[in-house]
Amino acid sequence: MRESVEKEKVVSIVTHLLQRACLALERDAHGARREIQKALELLLDNAVKTEIQPRHVHPRIQGLAPWQARRVIDHIHANMETPIRVEDMASLTRLSTSYFFRAFKLSFSISPHAYVLTLRLARACELLSGSDEQMSQIAVACGFADQAHFSRAFRREMGCAPGLWRREWRGPLITEAP
């Protein structure tokens, strides 16, 4: 019972944040980005805290234990700019690679690779909208092999090129006077 109340509360908060973002979009794009970022962080945090169990699951396969989920998420955040292998995440949780893959997908309803890609693109969006860094620097900072790899992944997931996204969503940058 408590879990369903908690999920309803998260859904309510995320809905409210996204409604505020939609209202702010036309007049305050930077404010809209903040609201969307809050909603994303809340959803990701909630995904770590709760196991999402599909209805037809093989009884022997379970999701990650809370300590395993925390350890993997911490590892992903700490190593965002480097290659993150499923084998390394599996060893952190003391599971075989194949079992880890299924347990991760059961816990987060997304594959480990897709989860890492989502976090990398979210970080890229932060850097694109809030910095003057070059695309190649952003690509490396977010763990992509190079700018071309970053651009392909960004376009595939976001529906536009990173440069176009930056022009559309860039917030006011504060520059220091000389």
CA atoms within 13 A on the CB side of 172: 4
CATH topology for the 111-159 domain: Arc Repressor Mutant, subunit A (1.10.10)
Count of beta carbons in the 10 Å neighbourhood of residue 139:
25
Residues 42 and 45: their CA atoms lie apart, in Å, by 5
Quickly state the pLDDT bin for 11 (edges 50, 70, 90). low
* Domain range list for the chain: 1-50, 53-109, 111-159
Provide mean pLDDT across the span 88-96.
96
- CA dist., res. 25 & res. 94, Å (int): 45
Tell me the average pLDDT of the chain: 79
In the block, residue with structure tokens 């209805």:
55
68-86 per-position pLDDT tens digit: 999 999 999 999 999 999 9
Q: Is residue 178 predicted with pLDDT exceeding 60?
A: no
